[in-house]
Structure 1
């Protein structure tokens, strides 16, 4: 969501708009949950600390003078609650219930984000950090993932940026040591098995030091057979861990009585302290606005709404089983192709009709590409725009075809893509074809059966956001008007080259397949009508942050 929208939402919430407050809490609850969950490593107190953080943010929202500082202000509140919880609690080292829950968030991170390989190793290494390091890791993880800035990290910890740099570097060193421990425990070193025979299986600082000493002197455990990728390169672009179903935050339960609210809270495990705050007749904010009993204020994880009807995409290329997505991401379930005998009414122009599809037969020629009028395209970058960094953009104007060529480098920085976005559209734009040669989920190497497209086991994987249309290296669009393409690189390392092209060049590319040497023919998506797909990330607006353009845009 763009900065201007959040600014207006915060102002409305401060003025007492319950719907705006709802949106504010729902929008930022995942960030708070990830900070608290990772800092406490999944302890049973996580829900209480998250609840207390959001309650304090609501209670003091009116004191926030600068809406642009809301995120750093909220993160600072979360860190204070985490530190307050640590001061209040003096765990008994013999209390197994305390340690027994400590692996939860690492497991949640691995399972819910489907992390594999060295990414999984980083998540599990967090269990071996001391509380202070784990608190810092919870912020640094989000900084590397693009959710926080270094300034916000430093403000949340209450130190200067220079001191934050030193603290982060020391934490990273201990994290790398912990990664070595995780790697060694997965190995088969006989000396390590003998050393850990007396270990109860719960990570702690004493055993971290013992195991680290073993690693420094052991030739077997020190023999790393694969290059170790720095943690910051592994974490770039990783998504937030989803809020668990059942974590619900409520204030002023409509017409319910306090007894009913207490019963509702008990069902999700709220503490008595939180329930007491929730069942007050009014929660006052400093600015004087109130949320009174009888109003509604609920932020909860709800199922995704059912997608709107989509138009059929005509193509003569038959479909076959798709290659699986890389194991570092949850593979969205491909939708079955529409039956060729079923007639589906096409939506009017402006509806995204791209869907996660099955890979077509690489040996079957595509449908003919309709020839739309061409009067020429001008570009603010000249003949070719080479965009390799976040924030770069090119504006295209005229009537004709445009090529967007992808260059993805998982060996430099793997992770999840933040897709480019088309903004400021005046007129129309269609996604007309995908070039011949290589689809991004095609196997990278015919000799590596474990590796499928968007990377390999040797170089690391690049992952598309869930639900995103699979791409070819060359993607073609038809522009009739003006539109700006924005490079939103944040996760994986990628670049896009953008330049005007022609119908003849598109046709030649999509039909260049076997036996000319390419791995597959391309795919024609253009029906010649207004039911031709619209790019998934497109808007007529010009948001402050183009990366916030919704995937299923309506233009």
Structure 2
């Protein structure tokens, strides 16, 4: 939209035009969301910082003298809120994990591939100051900001901004090299990262960069490296997540402050009126809350199918208000239902029982936001998988560290199909380990160290669990209570077949188990949903497909 239109819209909003204010907020909210989201890398505070930025912008709009400077003025407000948030961080929140990795969101929502994807993932390795600057520079090279606006937002001269951007770009290129190296097959790098917890930080960035400089394999790019600014030019903004809520209600001191900034009584009154429609896929509801619904050009959300089985022992809590009755399924909708839910306890097979043949399914390969080996040791760690092929999820349960109730991981945001095809690793997690005292040294623990207790009705996991994906899905580690870790590897049918086929003759406890029926009747994993809840640990125990 041209600058003349925005100038007229801003002027109208300053004069108390409610429709103009609606358009202003809906039009500039995505820019603010991208700046804050990338600067904080999807931290749980993103929503709060976006909220405070827009609240201050709306509350002080009357003091803006030149509508042509609105964008740089708004970006400067956002950067101040980001810096204020950094100063307010308490020591117990310094290591808090992101609520939703913004690099991952960028890759998925913009469907980035190749070196564009590499740049997005490299952002994780930058320090806070560099990431804040990159959040502006990314928008500059994408055509959303000018260098003058970038410098004004940071509060420095254009010459100083050029120096800082150049230094940030150098560290970004180092980080791109780390992303490439971690996706490679260097044995020395694998040995070096054996002690790494999987979370990017400045210490490991320096260690890995030092290795890359000395390593002929990791230091030699397999293809011509395109400069980051050429890769980012023209990339669209990451769209707002559906259901994103922005509360701009005025009351008490906030209303007084807004009034003192020059707001008309007419506009303040409009902010507290009941719902009116907004443009750009947003709605303003009673009390002044902007709720982003569905962008006009986005496909409609896929309907969730009715659960095919329930978990023994617990039902999800009833909703606060009864949902509307589901429509009568049509024959075409029936084809969308697939699989048999594995919310049921199963017995361990006889150790000498060979597995059934593993059916063949198409394999074009699976990509992972965590690379070839995603280590998830803490609650909130997640990996998004995309493609067509097999995935290995390897379990490590640690009741010796912290026994108790095990909160299972969850599969969310499924688009396509996901099947549980096989279990392997030579043992179930409740199998005793050979030579262990009293046979109690199992994955599930023992009387001396305590037990890992599964939720009622949960199928026992094996050390290696294999899944087949045709689409995209996110797996989240929901560790609470008992400690556990997951390692996720894109795999292939040959590796699955070899794992489950190795039995007691090779010194293992038992053969593996093939679960795939070769049809859409294959089991789907527990705790799978096509939605993406704010906290994946709250996915109801009854699986949803």
Taking structure 2 as the reference length, the TM-score comes to 0.49
Taking structure 1 as the reference length, the TM-score comes to 0.49
